[in-house]
Amino acid sequence: MQAKTNRIRTLPLTVGIVGVVLTSCVFRNSAPVASQGQKKDVRTITWQEQNMRFSVPEGWEFVPSSGFESEEFRLKGPQDAHLSVFVVDDRGRTIDVDSALRKYQDNLKTQQSVKFDEVRFLDLDAARGVLSVSTETDGDKRSLDLMWQGYRQQSAKLQFVSIHLWGPIVGPADRKNEFLNILNSLKLTKD
């Protein structure tokens, strides 16, 4: 798990870490939903301290963060998939969100260290951000790396939010669709 956290890319305009202690994670079973002709249980997960809520398919479980409890929320999914959410407070700085995101998107498109399958703007609930998707290959093993980074207003403060989904591509399952469904289910409680 630790090896995956070094893949996190952050915008250069953020400062400081939100002093939030993760004291609870609430799971609620939702009604089964149809997925490719099969029924799957979907659970709603709430990170109460950050007023975030999203839905995950059966098999995703909360993982306590060792050493990062005040800034990170983690889940582990089937076939060694991982989800991490980081929140960083702007500490009173004024940030031109659209300009920062355009610059970040341009940097992703022109950098040479990772070949991205997709880089685009994606708004999630009330947050503006940039989605990047890449496929990693190591011999005959392939994995999907999906990253969304953006900004939201929370308690009259601007916060940088980074959501990272990673997992091996195994069999005929559509890992990208699974990850995008999780990401698109994100709800940010408005003040």
**Type and span of the H or E element at 47:** strand 42-47
The answer to whether residues 81 and 97 touch, using CB atoms and an 8 Å cutoff, is no
Q: What is the pLDDT of residue 168?
A: 93
- Tell me: pLDDT of 122 over 90: yes
Joined together, the tokens standing for residue 185 give 């289910």
Q: How many CA atoms, within 13 angstroms, populate the side-chain half-sphere of residue 182? A: 28
Q: What CATH number has the domain bearing residue 100?
A: 3.40.1000.10
117 is in which domain, residue-wise? 2-188
Instruction: Mean pLDDT check: name the lowest of 4-8, 112-116, 179-183.
Output: 4-8
For the segment 18-65, what is each residue's pLDDT rounded down to a tens digit? Answer: 222 233 334 343 332 333 434 468 889 888 778 888 899 989 988 887
Q: Check residue 189 and give its pLDDT.
A: 60
Number of domains in the chain: 1
177, containing H or E segment: helix 175-184
Is this prediction's pTM over 0.85? no
Handedness of CA 145, 146, 152, 155 (dihedral sign): negative
The DSSP code for 99 is H
Give the pair of three-digit tokens for residue 46.
Answer: 């709430």
Would you call 89 exposed, middle or buried from its count of C-beta atoms within 10 A (0-12, 13-18, 19+)? buried
Q: How far, CA to CA in Å, does 39 sit from each of 76, 86, 134?
A: 21, 31, 29
> Residue 132: which pLDDT band, with cuts at 50, 70 and 90?
very high
Query: To the nearest whole number, what is the mean pLDDT of the chain?
Result: 76
Residue 177 near residue 115, CB atoms below 8 Å: no
Query: What CA–CA distance (Å, rounded) separates 154 from 156?
Result: 5
Cβ(106)–Cβ(130) under 8 Å? no
